[in-house]
């Protein structure tokens, strides 16, 4: 079966959030949000830099008080990525954030309700050419819509809320719009986005709100966001996790890379699931490697494998990998044995080789070592382990015997 390089995407209009295009065929962008007080501009800027390093293209900061708007005025000129101001309840904060120079606003139609206030903000954003995200949230739906839809949050009610807001914006000739219809229920948000995609061509910002801490929060967010992306819906995404914000940015980036929707930027770490053959604690070494590579911009696939018996073969497509055997790490490049290091130095060796390959290429990396010798050493450990463990280290034969005995 022919596999398409990426999913066909729904055509949308494009808006510019600072210098980041959203929609209209632009690469899907990753967003995250700071958790510092925006008024503390130094701490907030530090977090914005951390988020940008972790893969965020756009960062949102709350603008909930006048000190926050003043903080934004200091933050925006020094930020490495465009800044979105998050506005709830007070439309005056939206005007203050625009004055501070933010690149986008997020308005929640459920809690800025007076049409004249909405129009005032939209007119100001129009004059400044600043886009607005209409951020409908299942948990804070406009009370009238809640009533109208039977006292329940439904996909229809959420879509109607977004369309009402677009209507207010249209009255002042404003259409630099992105929309989100988030909910904490995955099926609800999926259906709301599907319905919204049917009735508008504005770019969509995807997310599962209040997804909670990882791993459940990651699973919920991925279930919702990935389902829609695979249907071609979505132009920018945010994981809302109860975790360090950098986790959100990393997760968003990794999701897009794993779907082939963004070019790989960081290491794609793969690891075997471990089994009776494992010569090391695969989980611990993989975690150690994850943190060693965390913020390094090296677009390689790197494998951590539990044994030299099967590891190099199972991970032969990785750019670089290491497999354990008899207290040693056997390093391989594209399936070719390259070096042998002490078990304690496995992660260190991976980082050194990854850096070198990234800078000079795999051929140059291999040219500096004796690959024949590395292959002989790997074969020696492989044969030694096979001699010790036999070819059934996972006791599969005994299980098969038992299955046959019980079913025979």
Distance CA 76, CA 67 (A): 14
Q: Per rule CB under 6 A, is residue 277 in the interface with ligand SF4?
A: yes
Q: Per rule CB under 6 A, is residue 70 in the interface with ligand SF4?
A: no
Minimum separation from the CB atom of position 319 to ligand SF4 (A) = 17
CA distance to 67, 214, 273, 334, 379, per residue, from 317 (Å) = 53, 29, 17, 6, 19
User: H/E/C letters for each residue in the chain?
Assistant: CCCCCCCCCCCCCEEEECCEEEECCCCCEEEEECCCCCCCHHHHHHHHHHHHHHCCCEEEEECCCHHHHHHHHHHHHHCCCCEEEEECCCHHHHHHHHHHCCCEEEECCCCCCCHHHHHHHHHHHHHHCCCEEEEEEHHHCCHHHHHHCCCCCCHHHHHHHHHHHHHHHHHCCCCCEEEEEEECCHHHHHHHHHHHHHHCCCCEEECECCCECCCHHHHHHHHHHHHHHHCCCCCEEECCECCCHHHHHHHHHHHHHHCCCCCCCCCEEEECCCCCCCCCCHHHHHHHHHHHHCCCCCCCEEEEECCCCCHHHHCCCCCEEEEEECCEEEEEECCEEEEEEEHHHHHHHHHHHHHHHHHHCHHHHHHCCCHHHHHHHHHHHHHHHHHHHCCCCCCHHHHHHHHHHHHC
Q: Per rule CB under 6 A, is residue 307 in the interface with ligand SF4?
A: yes
Nearest residue to ligand SF4, using CB? 306
- Pick from 203, 306, 325, 329 the residue near ligand SF4 by CB under 6 A: 306
- Pick from 186, 278, 286, 300 the residue near ligand SF4 by CB under 6 A: 278
- Pick from 231, 287, 314, 343 the residue near ligand SF4 by CB under 6 A: 314
Minimum separation from the CB atom of position 307 to ligand SF4 (A) = 3
Q: Per rule CB under 6 A, is residue 99 in the interface with ligand SF4?
A: no
Binding segment for ligand SF4 among 7-15, 26-34, 270-278, 339-347 (CB under 6 A)? 270-278
Binding segment for ligand SF4 among 19-27, 39-47, 171-179, 275-283 (CB under 6 A)? 275-283
Minimum separation from the CB atom of position 221 to ligand SF4 (A) = 28
Number of residues that bind ligand SF4 (CB under 6 A): 13
Minimum separation from the CB atom of position 280 to ligand SF4 (A) = 9
- Judged by CB, which is closer to ligand SF4: 314, or 348? 314
- Pick from 95, 211, 305, 341 the residue near ligand SF4 by CB under 6 A: 305
- Judged by CB, which is closer to ligand SF4: 105, or 309? 309
Minimum separation from the CB atom of position 395 to ligand SF4 (A) = 13
- Judged by CB, which is closer to ligand SF4: 263, or 391? 391
- Judged by CB, which is closer to ligand SF4: 234, or 321? 321
Q: Per rule CB under 6 A, is residue 396 in the interface with ligand SF4?
A: no
Q: Per rule CB under 6 A, is residue 178 in the interface with ligand SF4?
A: no
Signed CA dihedral, 120, 121, 125, 128: sign only: positive
Site for ligand SF4 in 357-376 (CB under 6 A): none
Q: Per rule CB under 6 A, is residue 331 in the interface with ligand SF4?
A: no
Q: Per rule CB under 6 A, is residue 288 in the interface with ligand SF4?
A: no
- Judged by CB, which is closer to ligand SF4: 199, or 284? 284
- Judged by CB, which is closer to ligand SF4: 248, or 279? 279
- Pick from 207, 311, 325, 329 the residue near ligand SF4 by CB under 6 A: 311
Name 137's bridge partners: 182
Residue 337 backbone phi and psi in degrees, to 5: -60, 140
Residues that bind ligand SF4 (CB under 6 A): 272-275, 277-278, 305-307, 309-311, 314
């Amino acid at each position: 079966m022919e596999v398409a390089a990426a999913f066909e995407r729904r055509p949308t209009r494009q808006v510019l959030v600072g210098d980041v295009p959203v929609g209209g065929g632009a690469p899907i962008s990753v967003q995250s949000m700071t958790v510092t007080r925006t008024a503390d501009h130094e701490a907030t800027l530090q977090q914005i830099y951390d988020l940008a390093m972790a893969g965020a293209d756009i960062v949102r900061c709350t603008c909930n008080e006048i000190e926050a708007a003043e903080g934004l005025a200091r933050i925006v000129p020094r930020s490495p990525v465009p800044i979105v101001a998050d506005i709830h309840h007070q439309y005056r904060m939206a005007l203050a954030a625009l004055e501070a120079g933010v690149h986008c606003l997020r308005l929640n139609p459920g809690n800025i309700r007076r049409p004249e206030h909405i129009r005032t903000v939209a007119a100001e954003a129009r004059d400044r050419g600043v886009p607005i995200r209409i951020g409908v949230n299942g948990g804070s739906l406009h009370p009238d819509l809640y009533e109208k839809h039977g006292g329940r949050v439904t996909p229809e009610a959420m879509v109607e809320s977004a369309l009402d807001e677009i209507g207010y914006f249209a009255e002042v000739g404003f259409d630099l719009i992105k929309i989100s219809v988030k909910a904490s229920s995955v099926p609800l948000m999926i259906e709301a986005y599907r319905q919204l995609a049917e009735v508008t061509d504005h770019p969509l910002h995807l997310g599962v709100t209040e997804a909670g801490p990882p791993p459940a929060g990651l699973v919920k967010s991925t279930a919702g966001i990935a389902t829609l992306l695979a249907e071609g819906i979505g132009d920018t995404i945010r994981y809302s996790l109860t975790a360090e914000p950098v986790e959100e940015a990393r997760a968003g980036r990794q999701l897009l890379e794993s779907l082939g929707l963004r070019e790989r930027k960081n290491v794609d770490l793969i690891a075997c699931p471990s089994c009776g053959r494992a010569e090391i604690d695969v989980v611990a070494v993989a975690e150690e490697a994850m943190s060693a590579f965390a913020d390094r911009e090296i677009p390689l696939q790197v494998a951590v494998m539990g044994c030299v018996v099967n590891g190099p073969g199972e991970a032969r497509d990785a750019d670089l990998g290491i497999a354990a055997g008899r207290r040693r790490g056997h390093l391989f490049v594209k399936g070719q044995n390259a070096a042998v290091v002490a078990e304690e130095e496995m992660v260190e060796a991976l980082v050194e080789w990854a850096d070198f390959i990234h800078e000079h290429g795999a051929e140059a990396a291999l040219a500096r070592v004796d690959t024949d010798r590395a292959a002989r050493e790997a074969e020696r450990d492989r044969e030694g382990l096979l001699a010790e463990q036999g070819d059934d280290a996972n006791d599969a034969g005994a299980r098969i015997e038992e299955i046959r005995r019980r079913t025979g």
